[in-house]
Chains A and B, each alone.
Chain A
Amino acid sequence: MPIGRSVKQRAFFSLIFGFALYSFYVYTSGTTETADRVSISQAGESGRLLYQKYNCTACHQFYGMGGYLGPDLTNVMSAPGKGDLYVRALLKVGTDVMPNYDLPETEIDALVAYLTYVDQTGRFPEPAARKTWYGSIEIDD
């Protein structure tokens, strides 16, 4: 016996309702923790716009998401041997892979501020990620 139309409609709208609730949760309490700990500065906000303007995500990643021609930048500001001067040097002259964008000092300052903010939001890869017996992970603060 085929599934009746009313059953299909009930299933459809139940999923929609569940999705609406879940989306509300994701938009609100599901993702508030970081904002309680760290906020973006005005310079960082300018840096974010520049990151989009120059499409840095084409080659770089945050939290492993982005293009893979370049390295992940999530924690480049706090990584051993990297940090402020390292990032400024690369932004100033580029590399044999990364073009030289001829960035003025103000834009370099803004990008550094943005990367500093990102660095404070979390870690990638996450060394504190503990694997559970059922295959999930738990990330401690």
Chain B
Amino acid sequence: MKKDFIPHLFFGLALICLAGTLLIGSVAGIQYVYPSFLRESLAFYKIRPLHVTFAVSWIVLAIFGGIYYYLPRICNSTLHSRGLSRIHLYLFIATGAAIVVSVSLGIFGGREYMAFSPILSIPVLLGWALFGFNYFKTLYKKLEKWPVYLWMWATGIVFMLFTFTEAHLWLIPYFRNNMVRDLTVQWKSYGAMVGSWNMLIYGTAIYLMHSITKDDEMAFGKQSFALYFLGFAALLFGWGHHTYIIPVSPWIRTIAYIISMSELVILGNIIWNWRKTVSSSLKYADLLPARFLFSADLWVFLNLVLALVLSVPALNVFTHGTRVTVAHAMGTTIGINTVILLASVFYVLSQRYSTILERHCKMINRGIWVFHIALFSFCTFLILSGMERSEWMNAETSLSFRELTLSVRPYLIGFLVSGLGLATGVLMIIAPAFKCLHCFFTGNAQDESALSESDALYCGEV
């Protein structure tokens, strides 16, 4: 088997899932405006879980591809077991296909975001366990000092396993027979699960920046570790900002509020270091992976401001249950997570296929601009629609839900158009990546151009 076959296959599957996310998301957007669209065959109650499945699959598969590629290089050895990585891959392919088919046929039984039958969670958990085992066995006794991204990946893996299991506690009557406990534990697990994959993604971002800048302070410095522990605390205790309004014990609300506000430290750090960030971004602006990472920084700032607002309970009562929350979820998943993972994909592909990518620089750069403009518009329309609903929920109004839906329709049309723009931008970006992967899997050596250590993919301005 070709070297790095498994990471490239994970990347290929991840990009297919990303394309699937865009397609299904576009259908969902159309259904928001025209509810009768495909209602008989693929109604919204099927489309939404399909969109979520593809989106989460894009994220986790891209994470796996990156870590499987980077880990042997960090340790300067081979992966502990390529066999296990293959089993992991096949498990996810089979389970993913089963989930897509079952959801398309209307076979459910799970919960929000994991609407598929809980039986299918078993192979998913097993796949994560195999990945984790391979990760720790590969690292075992290899490095004297771990850079922060190895800590982050380790934390992400362990807590994905824990939170994924916790998300199924509703199967036990003690949890599901108490609505408040059921919902609280569900969102405890989901909040921490997102924190877990954020650890994996941000760890990837720091690895990439370390590789690009060669700045060891980024990987081993006190500040990096301080921010890691702050993020870890948020993962463990910050989930409660999802459940402020549920009638739980006040302590849960208080702890979540305090932990969520600790992210002001991160915001402060971004503002304090803005000059250094800007000069770094200018220095490495022509490096495609770096360009993705610095644009992710911008979305981190914007989403952090929104998240801090949403995390104040007195303000949360106005936004909870509205599309303002969706704007936050989409803004982070697309603007931060997807952008960082695209940086990872292009970093790996540029090691071998810089010629192909350089030929498509113009399209990629234009795609990046379309992407960011469309995403900003997308989130804005979600926030506007959410604020209209908030007013309806909290003011004394006799407007029916149907009348509310009609009143937000202009925003939903804007949301749909922005979403189609977003899909266009992403497709412009990833089309060359598919080309590279096609070359890899067909063994086409014509476009391969091995880079020396100092080489990188430069993609100048449009």
Contacts and interface: CB of A to CB of B under 8 A. Distances in A.
Given A31-B248, A31-B249, A96 B36 contact: yes
Given A52-B108, A121-B179, A58 B247 contact: no
B245 interface: yes
Interface of B: 31-32, 35-36, 39, 43-46, 48-49, 106, 108-112, 115, 145, 151, 175-181, 183-185, 187-188, 220-222, 225, 229, 232-233, 236-237, 242-255, 257, 312-317, 320-323, 326, 389, 393-394, 401, 405
B229 A15 contact: yes
9 contacts: A1-B222, A23-B188, A26-B185, A33-B248, A40-B177, A55-B49, A58-B44, A58-B48, A137-B253
B62 to A, nearest CB: 25
Interface in A44-70: 45, 48, 52-59, 61-70
A31 B174 CA distance: 11
Contacts of B320: 64
Interface range, A side = 35 or more
B179 A117 contact: yes
Given A62-B183, A69-B32, 18 more contacts: A2-B222, A8-B151, A31-B249, A34-B181, A40-B179, A45-B177, A53-B108, A63-B243, A68-B326, A71-B401, A129-B317, A135-B257, A135-B312, A135-B314, A136-B254, A136-B313, A137-B245, A137-B313
B247 A34 contact: yes
Contacts of B108: 52-55
A2 B221 contact: yes
A55 B249 CA distance: 29
A72 to B, nearest CB: 6
B45 A125 contact: no
A31 to B, nearest CB: 4
A104 interface: no
Contact of A15 (B109, B232, B316, B389): B232
Contacts of A40: 177, 179
A6 interface: no
B45 A58 contact: yes
